[in-house]
Structure 1
Amino acid sequence: MSFVLPPECVLRPASDSDIWEIRKLVFSAKLDPTQLRWQQFSVIECDKKIVACGQLRSFSGAQELSSLVVLPAWRKQGLGSYLVKHLIQQANQPLYLECASWLEQFYTQFGFVSISWREVPSPLKEKFRFTQFATKLIPLISLKVMQYRGFETPTDGNK
């Protein structure tokens, strides 16, 4: 699966001056606005305007792919896919995400699989507990917790 950025776009690490644009993107998508640290974000800039962002948050023994947003005018061009692939490549611990159930198929194409609550590592359970509780209160909201399993870890020295 190969994704290419349009020629007018560049992927780069976020800088401190990007935080307000990142916040606007995250708020516009109605995503969790807490714990937005520009140092954890990658952004896609097209024609000198940030049009997509995503962050890789580190926890004890796990990482979370979160705050993935692409401006509506730039969707359906592979920017979100490009950003997901980039963040997967940057991960150096087991990688998880929490998403609306209608996004499950999108993330599955990259090697993420839905997991049960008991499979979620403790540090992420603390973070996801509120949203999982909210789905019990408001059944219209359906969230999935997914783990990246798109790579094979060699079990012996022959690989």
Structure 2
Amino acid sequence: MLQNNLALPSGCIVRQAIAEDNWQIRLLVLSAKLDPTQLRWQQFWVVECDRQLVACGQLRNFADIQELGSLVVAKAWRDRGLGSFLTQHLINSATQPLYLECLGQRLAEFYQGFGFVQVAFEDLPRSLKPKFRWSELGRKLIRVPVVFMHYQGTEAENLTKPR
């Protein structure tokens, strides 16, 4: 699958965020019109290219699960594989079952390529429901195209896992 061949462009590195990245992360998240209320730089990984922070994403910790969230690539750096690289890196860094919410079928299809599957709100872990409750309400009342997803791995990963 495509994810196995991901590489960062020359001059780019992926690293854990540091305190000095806090405002750059917030600006990236706000520029993408994502929820800015649960941003903790300590949970972020960033992509830095030519000493400039150009992408970020976080693994939020909940009781017995993690959420992949706040994944943003700066507009000028899109279509270079940074989002795919960072998504795979976050998946590989997760230590517990992994969930996410995204807007629209296009993003859902992007995450399906990494082994995420759509799940109903009712099937989400109890610890995640309070956070996603407003999204579910928007989905039901005004048809916000939110999709909840759970990481189950790719076919290749599932074939190579010990049983």
Calculate the TM-score normalised by the size of structure 1: 0.93
Does 2:85 correspond to 1:82? yes
1:12-35 Cα offsets, whole Å, 9 max, x none, are 100001010000000000101011
Q: CA deviation at 1:153?
A: 9.8
Which runs of no fewer than 5 residues in structure 1 stay unpaired? none
* CA RMSD of superposed structures (Å): 1.7
Q: What is the alpha-carbon distance in structure 2 between the residues aligned to residue 10 and residue 45 of structure 1?
A: 5
1:10-159 correspondence to structure 2 within 5 Å: 10-101=13-104, 102-139=106-143, 141-150=144-153, 151-152=157-158, 159=163
**Can you give the 5+ residue segments of structure 2 that lack an aligned partner in the other structure?**
none
Local SS of the residue matching 1:123: coil
Identity %: 53
Q: CA deviation at 1:91?
A: 0.6
- Which stretches of structure 1, 4 residues or more, deviate above 3 A after TM superposition? 151-155
TM-score when scaled to structure 2? 0.90
Are the equivalent residues in 1 in contact too, given 2:121–2:136 (CA < 8 A)? no
More helix by share: 2
Q: Does 1:9 align with 2:4?
A: no
Structure 1 distance, partners of 2:41, 2:79, is: 25
